[in-house]
Amino acid sequence: MTTKAAAKAPHLDLAALVDDPGTRIVVCCGAGGVGKTTTAAALGLVAAERGRRVVVLTIDPARRLAQSLGLTELDNTPRPVAGVDPASGGSLDAMMLDMKRTFDDVVEQHATPEKAAQILANPFYQAVSSSFAGTQEYMAMEKLGQLRAQAEEDDSWDLIIVDTPPSRSALDFLDAPKRLGSFLDGRFIRLLMAPAKAGGRAYLKVLSGGVTLATQTMGKILGNSMLDDVQTFVAALDTMFGGFRERADVTYALLGADETAFVVVAAPERDALREAAYFVERLDAERMPLAGVVLNRMQRLAAGSLSASRAASAAEELADGEESPTARTTSGLLLLHEDLAETAARQRAHATRFVAGHPGVPVTEVPAAAQDIHDLDGLREVGGALLR
């Protein structure tokens, strides 16, 4: 395998990264379908077998991958993964994120039992916690914060590896403190809470006539019973929002800290690399600690010294020429090689372009596995390739 493009980019040394006890959090991000979850799990496994005590937080693993990690139920709690080699003193726990449950936990922790019950029963809350665009991103970070706090408290883990939701909005959590802040300081929220707080008409005095018009309009559009639900919901959340925002700030600081490393996972294709470029640039703009980019699923060639064009012409000659008993097999092998070599060259061109556009960003390449990964051996193999 040639590594010309990667030679220009600094090498992303994931072995050094996971071996460094100062690395406490690794966040894997990237577009959907590039093998992000597999990368997170494989990194977790090899780190554990090199002596780290690891917990991997996955968002939405493929069924067989989940099974290989022993994740048969979604119970929002890390469970030990069976079959991990404990010889180096490490361990591996894994969990799948249950976003609604995480949200419920937040409510229960930060509100009085009575108020919590009220919030959990509110139809608006039920919709927010299961379908609010972005909830998954927020809850992934909330869970990260919880795991980090637990690690601090009982020393159960010294490395947390987080998979992120498969979308661009995966980085929305970076905006969480800002968004929550402007939301809470917004006049609209005060407006919605005013009736509940002031109980009656007192609020009319403090708020302008425009606001009254706004509430009336909202009532007209939403229907008054829905507006009541919204008001109850917002008022109920009011008490816990302070804590929510504070923790969002803490998580943001945590993500930017030296103990954290972001790993962007990409496949050597145009669209996936465009997404990777977006992630790299966004993390840079936020001054988040980017460790580098994993170029996943690179086509490998077992007969790399033979060029695509040479293979094609040789196949043609074989078909025309004197029949040897194996001519048909050999020409088939050559046609196959031509196709693979062309794919490899195309991927190489994409990778080169990406590296040229992002000088100084460390890169490592992982060859495509012939089979889907569905057991620890497969993960171990990917992990080995990641750490090279």
Query: Among residue numbers 155 through 174, which ones bind another protein (CB under 8 A)?
Result: 166-168
State which of residues 4, 8, 63, 388 lies at the interface with another protein (CB under 8 A).
63
Nearer to another protein, 86 or 186 (CB): 186
Residue 58 forms beta bridges with which residues?
Answer: 96
| 71-90: contacts with another protein (CB under 8 A) | none
- In 172-283 the beta strands, taken as DSSP E runs, fall at 260-266
Minimum CB separation of residue 320 from another protein in Å reads 9
Q: How far apart are the first and last CA of the chain?
A: 13
| 302-361: contacts with another protein (CB under 8 A) | 302-306, 310, 314, 317-318, 321-322, 324-337, 339-340, 342-343, 346
DSSP secondary-structure letter at 368?
P
Contact pattern from residue 128 through residue 157 relative to another protein, giving x for each residue in contact according to CB under 8 A and a dash for the rest: x--xxx------------------------
Cα dist. 297→1, 38, 145, 226, 325 in Å?
Answer: 13, 11, 31, 49, 36
Q: Give residue 95's region: left, alpha or beta (phi > 0; psi -120 to 50).
A: beta
Minimum CB separation of residue 20 from another protein in Å reads 31
Pairing of strands 260-266, 25-29: parallel
State which of residues 73, 246, 281, 372 lies at the interface with another protein (CB under 8 A).
372
DSSP secondary-structure letter at 11?
B
98 lies in the site for another protein, by CB under 8 A: no
State which of residues 1, 60, 80, 206 lies at the interface with another protein (CB under 8 A).
60
Q: Give residue 64's region: left, alpha or beta (phi > 0; psi -120 to 50).
A: alpha
Residue 180 is encoded by which pair of tokens? 């929550």
Helix axes 270-285 and 327-357, enclosed angle (nearest 10): 20
The full DSSP string for 39-89 is HHHHHHHHHHHTT-EEEEEESS--HHHHHHTT--S--SS-EEPTT---TTS
Minimum CB separation of residue 235 from another protein in Å reads 15
Contact pattern from residue 16 through residue 45 relative to another protein, giving x for each residue in contact according to CB under 8 A and a dash for the rest: ---------------xxxx-----------
Minimum CB separation of residue 380 from another protein in Å reads 19
| 243-282: contacts with another protein (CB under 8 A) | 267, 269-272
- The order of strands in the sheet holding 159-163 is 79-80, 91-96, 53-58, 159-163, 25-29, 260-266, 290-298, 363-367
| 194-223: contacts with another protein (CB under 8 A) | 210-211, 213-214, 216-218, 220-223
| Size of the residue set binding another protein (CB under 8 A) | 79
State which of residues 15, 189, 198, 204 lies at the interface with another protein (CB under 8 A).
189
Minimum CB separation of residue 28 from another protein in Å reads 15
